[in-house]
Amino acid sequence: MAQYTIYKQLNLSTDKFTNTNKVTTGIWNSSAGTLNAVNMATASLSSSNVAYFRTVTEESGSSAVKSFDVSYGHVTGAGSSTTDYKYSTRVVYRQFANAILDDPLKKFSFMNHATGSNTAVTETDDFYAIVVKSAKIKDRLHTKWTMTLSGSKGTAAAPSGETLHLTNYTASVFPSVAGDYYLVISGSAGVPGESGGVAGTVYGYFFPDIATILLYPTKLSASLPGSTGYALSGSSGYYTGIGQGLAPSSATTANNSGKFLDVLMTNASSFTLRTEQDLNQTQYFCRLFSGEYNFTSNPTFIKSGSELGDLLDNQVGDPSVYITGVGLYNDHNELIAVAKVNEPIKKNFSTEQNFVVKIDG
């Protein structure tokens, strides 16, 4: 007896194939890969927010786009204002500890060598944090980035133009409660640049899953020293083009996040960063064998006036129908996708047809 096929179960192990293409684009405006210091500005924030973070924008004024935040955290609250009874720098430290550390009551520690083979670590009371705005990210941050910081080893009158190029070491991957993280070292686009290769100084950690870079002030200030002064809270001119080094101040008038911006937003400083997106395309192979889909519910297939659904004489035995589309249904027989063919395709018991339905996502 002929088989009236209406629905056919797909074998997901043989009839389904998903292909994933990774597309990488620059994260800044117009998909630019590099944001130079000259195009950076700081967003206007309330004084209550400035105590916790500064926001860097691309361009300024009406065209400004908020891109990332810079914070400074200290385990005891050093660098917080005397009127700041919440100790904002301590709040920042504990906020990141809760998100990253196995024990949020412990201190952050940084490895001594980029190879990770030397597991000796040094506890730190403070850190700088850079957090990229989620609106700038597609699926994730790309793991090859470069940050160039400009400092000064000389005096204000004769700065040496010292620069430090930071990147993540892509060959170093370690687990954490916030996802895998990488070491931050001197170099470019994920490749070590220090003499001595991968066994160079560790300047911090990179957490791509939470779009966060933590930097170790002690190592930064050793490699990019400057004057011993510090930017005052509320100062709008902390990026002077000279650079003050990156040794944080514990003074109650300190603006340590502003100090970091001092070396990020001057001279030859820049931030090269990309975002990565997975573009999935699933292919469903719909196979119509010879004994399947040879009938139709079209009323012209039935004799006019027939109460029993008798077929037309020329459709008895070896009927011919025409395929105009393929529908994909879920387990509840709900139509979720339709693919139309360019022109009707003839189907009968002596032919077979195969369709590949492609769905993005």
For 336, half-sphere exposure in the C-beta direction (CA atoms, 13 angstrom radius) is: 11
Tell me how far apart the alpha carbons of residues 303 and 308 are, in angstroms, rounded to a whole number. 9
216 — alpha (psi -120 to 50), left (phi > 0) or beta?
A: beta
Greater model confidence, 100 or 116: 100
Helices H, strands E: what count in the chain? 4, 20
- What is the average pLDDT across 76-88? 82
> Of 91-100, 134-143, 270-279, which has the strongest mean pLDDT?
91-100
**Local structure of 333: helix, strand or coil:** coil
> Where would I find the beta strands (DSSP E) of the chain?
16-26, 34-36, 40-42, 54-58, 65-74, 108-111, 121-124, 126-132, 140-141, 146-150, 163-174, 181-188, 191-192, 204-207, 212-215, 270-272, 274-288, 321-329, 335-347, 353-360
Lowest mean pLDDT among 47-51, 152-156, 168-172, 259-263: 152-156
Q: How many CB atoms lie within 10 A of CB 282?
A: 15
Given a cut of 90, is residue 93 above it in pLDDT? yes
**Each residue of 286-334: pLDDT tens digit?**
999 988 888 776 666 677 766 666 667 666 767 778 898 899 998 888 9
Partners of 169 in the beta sheet?
Answer: 183
Given a cut of 60, is residue 237 above it in pLDDT? no
Given a cut of 50, is residue 242 above it in pLDDT? no
pLDDT over 90 for what percent of the chain? Answer: 27
**Each residue of 111-158: pLDDT tens digit?**
765 444 555 678 899 999 999 998 888 888 888 899 998 865 444 443
CA neighbor of 147 nearest in space, from 67, 93, 218: 67
The pair of structure tokens assigned to 271 is 């931030």
Domain residue extents for the chain = 16-20+278-360, 28-272
- What is the average pLDDT across 167-175? 86
The pair of structure tokens assigned to 292 is 């399947």
CA neighbor of 189 nearest in space, from 11, 354, 26, 307: 26
Amino acid at 180: D
What does the radius of gyration of the chain's CA atoms come to, in whole angstroms? 31
- What per-residue confidence (pLDDT) applies to 297? 67
Partners of 132 in the beta sheet?
Answer: 68
- Buried b / exposed e over 47-59, threshold 16 CB at 10 Å, is eeebbbbbbbbbe
* Residues 6 or more apart whose Cβ sits within 8 Å of residue 129: 69, 70, 71, 72, 73, 92, 96, 212, 213, 214, 215
The Cα-based distances of 191 to 83, 122, 165, 256 in angstroms read 44, 24, 11, 29
